[in-house]
Amino acid sequence: MRVTVVGGGVVGTMHAWQAIERGHEVVQIEREAEARGASLRNFGQIWVSGRAGGEELETALRARELWEGIGKRAAGLGFRATGSLTPVRTELELAVAEAAVARADAAARGYELLTPGEARAINPALRGEFTAALFCERDAAVEPRTAQLALREELRRSPGYTFLPGREVREVVGAAAVRDDHGDVHHADAVVLATGAWLGGLVRELAGPDLPVRRVRLQMMQTDPLGESLPTSVADGDSFRYYPAYASAALDALDAGQPQPETAAAHRMQLLMVQRADGGLTIGDTHEYEHPFAFDTVEEPYEHLTAVVEHLLGRPLPRVRHRWAGVYAQCADKTRVVHRQQVADGVWLVTGPGGRGMTCAPAIAETTANELGW
C-alpha cells in the first residue's frame, strides 16, 4: 500500500512507523521544517500510572511495550524504564495512594506503596520530607526534543519512506489524494491526518465545526543539570487530582479537606518532573482551557513549582534554562483515548489524545493500522 501521513509529531510519526513496519510505502508531510508542537513540548513520559482502567490503561500498557521495542532500535530515542514516584505528605494524600494500591489493576501498573526510606533507596535525590511514596514500575521516559528526529532517522533506513517538510496540505482532491501548498498532489491508498492541535483549515473544512476535540494550553520549564541522578520521574500529591486512576472516595475527601494552594488551583496545577539526558529537569505543569490563550507565560506557576520541587529534593533548584507554553488537542469526552474519524474517501483524522499523546501514540497508530487493514 501507499500511505500518506500528514503531521510530523509523535502521533503522525508512529503512524508512519506502523505503515513501514507492515511493508508499505509512506510519504510523511510536515508543514514546519520539523515538528514544533506538543510532541516536543512535553515531559517525554510514558505515563502508565494515572491512566483510567480499561481501554486507556490497556492502550498505555501496549504503548509502553512498543516504546521499549522501538527504543532498542532507535538509540537516540533515549528510552529509559525509569518508573515513577509520587511522594505524599499528608494523611489525605496517603489515603488516595492506598486506594490506588488496592485497585484490581494495581499489579498491571506496577503500583507499590513505599516508606520514605524505600523510596530514597530507589531515588536518593528525594531528600525532602514526605510520609510515603506511590511507586509505579511501568512508567518510563524518552527524550521529547529529539524523539521525532531519532524515529525519523530509523524510518529513513527504509527505501519506502519519504519525509517532506515545509509543506502544508491544503485540500483533498480525490480518493486518498491530497494537494499541498507547493501544488503537488500525493496519491495513496490511505491518508492519515495527524495534525495535533492544528484544528483549523483543512481539518475544520473536513470534520466540521462540531469536532469533539478541544485545545489545552500548558506551561513548563527546564533547568540546568541537577548535578546528580534523578532515577525516577516524580509527581506530587496534586497529580492525584488530574488523573482518572486515582478517582475514589479518598480523592473526594482530599478535594474537600485539602484544597490546592491558590496558585495551583487557579492554574489547575500538578507537579511532574523528569530528568533529561543532559541532567536537566523538565518540570510542569498547568492546564488552561479558556480561549483565546494568552501569548505569554505567567510567573506564579513557576514559583509554585519551584517551591514544591525544592521541598521534595531538599535543596535549591538549578537555574531555569527554558520556559515555554504548549498546546495539545484533547477529546472533549476525556474518557476517550483518541478521536478517529473518516473525513473523506480514503482520509482519516486521528487527533485528541490530550496529555496521553506521548504515552499512547505507538498503540494509537497500531490500532489505526489494524482498523484500516494495513
Tell me the pLDDT band of 39, cut-offs 50, 70 and 90.
confident
Q: Which residues contact 248 (CB under 8 A, 6 or more apart)?
A: 96, 99, 100
Element (H, E) at 273: strand 272-275
CATH number at residue 52: 3.50.50.60
Segment 254-273 shows an average pLDDT of: 97
Same domain assignment for residues 236 and 311:
yes
Same domain assignment for residues 72 and 171:
yes
Same domain assignment for residues 116 and 12:
no
**The total number of structural domains that make up the chain:** 2
The answer to whether the CB of 139 falls within 8 A of the CB of 45 is yes
Same domain assignment for residues 178 and 321:
no
The answer to whether the CB of 346 falls within 8 A of the CB of 232 is no
pLDDT in tens, 67-97: 999 999 998 999 999 999 999 999 999 999 9
What pLDDT, on the 0 to 100 scale, is given for residue 117? 98
Same domain assignment for residues 231 and 275:
yes
pLDDT in tens, 273-294: 999 999 999 999 999 999 899 9
Same domain assignment for residues 353 and 261:
no
Tell me which residue has cell 510530523. Answer: 8
Question: How many angstroms separate the CA atoms of 256 and 253, rounded?
Answer: 5
Tell me the pLDDT band of 36, cut-offs 50, 70 and 90.
confident
Same domain assignment for residues 49 and 186:
yes
Same domain assignment for residues 74 and 88:
no
- Average pLDDT for the chain: 96
Query: Which domain covers residue 21, as residue numbers?
Result: 1-82+142-211+336-374
What pLDDT, on the 0 to 100 scale, is given for residue 40? 85
Same domain assignment for residues 207 and 218:
no
pLDDT in tens, 155-167: 999 999 999 999 9
Tell me the pLDDT band of 35, cut-offs 50, 70 and 90.
confident
CATH number at residue 125: 3.30.9.10
What pLDDT, on the 0 to 100 scale, is given for residue 211? 96
